[in-house]
Amino acid sequence: MEIINSLPQQTGRTFIVTGANTGLGYETTMMLAKKGAKVIMACRNMSKANAAKANILKEVPKADLDVLEIDLSSLKSVRSFVKAYQAKYDKLDVLVNNAGVMMPPYSKTEDGFELQFGANYLGHFLLTGLLLQTITKTPNSRIVTLSSLVHKNGKINFADLQSEKKYSASEAYAKSKLACLMFTRELQRRLEKAGHQQTISTASHPGIATTELSRHMPKLVYNVLRYTIAPFLTHAPIEGAKPTMLAAIGEAKGGDYFGPTGFNEFKGKPGKATSTPLSNDEAIANQLWEVSEKLVGLNYL
Ligand SMILES: NC(=O)c1ccc[n+]([C@@H]2O[C@H](COP(=O)([O-])OP(=O)(O)OC[C@H]3O[C@@H](n4cnc5c(N)ncnc54)[C@H](OP(=O)(O)O)[C@@H]3O)[C@@H](O)[C@H]2O)c1
């Protein structure tokens, strides 16, 4: 039987999915809606978000969806989102830190962070911190963060976290995704130390899924890949979202990391994923956490 079918119904449970309007976030929202969950679609573009919501409602007429605005590249916007969320809801079963951008030309967020490090990692670091009280008071709650196969190429260079001295789009993306995985595990360690037994932190990666993530790739490179090796190495967004479903509502313990289990974890059935020793390095993760607290202006745990 398809593993997703065996996951429990989620009626009465509330989820936030960032970047829910397309790609993996959209498919995660669709699958959660089919399980009866309430899903808050946290998106930066309200017309795209409302169109995505309408599409899900066509397939799942009873879907319980709400759309709230968030731009993860703006600390101010993350704070406004949390205020709006907390004005409407007083619990949160699962936060899915999904939104992301890959390999854009060099740019900085309004807070002065390199865009990928800022939106993929620091925005979610702040979002999690601001929602933590709401999450930890909800029984059996989880925080799920999206990493990537490319975390394996990532390095955390504290002397140039914002890639100001040298920018490689792919290295900065790998760094942001390594930071997401280190954050997952450091968050778990800190939740345990603080005695928050009701909440766990898990992570997932989709392998390689055919989403809009490649939007910043040069067209030529994209087309060569698309018509040559991509069909053998990639899978559909719905398949890529399944590891996130295991991380969010499957059997898991804190710090678990899920991904596809086929060749090189590029695609295949969802299950446990592999990660590098660096992604488990406690000293670097602790230092990254402390630096992140200063950068976003919030100390937590
Ligand atoms: N696809 C893959 O093969 C792959 C592999 C490894 C990891 N991942 C990870 O999976 C996650 C989802 O990516 P995807 O493949 O589904 O890509 P996608 O189709 O491009 O979707 C990305 C989502 O993130 C949103 N987003 C981007 N920047 C944002 C910001 N500053 N504030 C709020 N939302 C923002 C996008 O909103 P807009 O539509 O408004 O731009 C979109 O909803 C990412 O974290 C990515 O790193 C994907």
Ligand 1 centre and the CA of 213: distance in Å? Answer: 6
Please name the residue that has the structure tokens 């060569």: 224
How far apart, in whole angstroms, are the C-alpha atoms of residue 173 and residue 154?
8
Q: How far is CA 55 from CA 19, 26, 51, 70, 75, in A?
A: 15, 10, 6, 20, 30
Domain-located, residue 9: no
Contact call for residues 239 and 260 (beta carbons, < 8 A)? yes
Ligand 1 centre and the CA of 130: distance in Å? Answer: 21
Domain-located, residue 2: no
> How many domains does the chain fold into?
1
pLDDT, the chain, mean = 96
Domain-located, residue 69: yes
Helix (H) / strand (E) element for 96: namely: strand 94-97
The whole-number pLDDT of residue 283 equals 98
Q: How far is CA 195 from CA 7, 56, 192, 202, 236, in A?
A: 27, 38, 5, 17, 39
- The reply to whether the predicted model has a pTM over 0.95 is yes
Q: How many CA atoms lie within 13 A of 170 on its CB side?
A: 7
* C-beta atoms surrounding 138 within 10 Å: 18
The whole-number pLDDT of residue 200 equals 98
Domain-located, residue 1: no
Q: Which atom of ligand 1 is nearest to the CA of 147?
A: 7
Please name the residue that has the structure tokens 């949390």: 82
Q: Which of 89, 173, 257, 300 is catalytic?
A: 173
pLDDT above 90 for 226: no
Phi, psi (degrees; rounded to nearest 5) at 210:
-80, 75
User: Which range marks the domain in which residue 260 is found?
Assistant: 14-295
Q: Best of 27, 46, 101 to mutate for ligand 1, by most ligand atoms within 8 A of CB?
A: 101
Contact call for residues 209 and 24 (beta carbons, < 8 A)? yes
pLDDT above 90 for 194: yes
Q: Return left, alpha or beta for 290; rule: phi > 0 is left, psi -120 to 50 is alpha, else beta.
A: alpha
Query: Where would I find the H helices in 89-197?
Result: 115-116, 123-136, 169-193
Q: Which atom of ligand 1 is nearest to the CA of 119?
A: 31
Domain-located, residue 3: no
Looking up residue 279, the CATH number of its domain turns out to be 3.40.50.720
Domain-located, residue 20: yes
Q: Best of 16, 17, 18, 22 to mutate for ligand 1, by most ligand atoms within 8 A of CB?
A: 22
- CA 260, 12, 52, 177 torsion-angle sign: negative
Domain-located, residue 160: yes
Residues contacting ligand 1 via CB (< 6 Å): 18-19, 21-25, 43-45, 48, 70-73, 98-102, 119-120, 146, 148, 205-206, 208-209, 211-213, 240
pLDDT above 70 for 85: yes
SS3 category, 65: strand
Contact call for residues 243 and 203 (beta carbons, < 8 A)? no
pLDDT, tens digit (0-9, with 9 covering 90-100), for 262-290: 999 999 999 999 999 999 999 999 999 99
Split at pLDDT 50, 70, 90, the class of 1 is: low
Q: Taking residues 77-96, report their average pLDDT.
A: 98
Domain-located, residue 7: no
Contact call for residues 23 and 211 (beta carbons, < 8 A)? yes
Q: Which atom of ligand 1 is nearest to the CA of 71?
A: 32
User: In the annotation, is 121 catalytic?
Assistant: no
